[in-house]
Amino acid sequence: MSIKYTSKKLEKDFGPLCFSDLLLIQREDEGFTQVEMAKLLGVSKQKLCDFEKGRRLPSAKMAASWAKKLGHPQEVWVQIILQDQLRRDKLKLKVFVA
């Protein structure tokens, strides 16, 4: 499954998507190991693991950069990371990125 469509479509198909799920699904879909994906994204394997487990959240700028490297819409990745930040801060707000 390639993550190449809108966040609205993703949520319709899979329910609320968090960034850790998006990143893990993308890595597995591409057939990358954590080491390979970390190298491609320019982070350590440990940081990638933390992002995939939801222990850390990358910045919106970092998420946009990763989306671009993987050939995916930056808007989707940025929207999901911003929504995760709001969820983490227990703010019941909805983010839309265009």
Question: Where do the domains of the chain lie, and which CATH numbers do they carry?
Answer: 7-88 (1.10.260.40)
- How many C-beta neighbours within 10 Å does residue 55 have? 10
Secondary structure element (H or E) that encloses residue 25, with its range: helix 19-30
* Type of residue at 39: K
73: closest CA among 1, 2, 13?
2
- pLDDT tens-digit profile, the chain (98 residues): 444 555 566 667 767 789 999 999 999 999 999 999 999 999 999 999 999 999 999 999 999 999 999 999 999 999 999 999 999 999 999 999 98
pTM of the predicted structure, to 2 decimals: 0.81
List, in order, residues 6 or more apart from 30 with CB less than 8 Å away.
37, 70
* Type of residue at 53: K
- DSSP 8-state assignment for residue 16: S
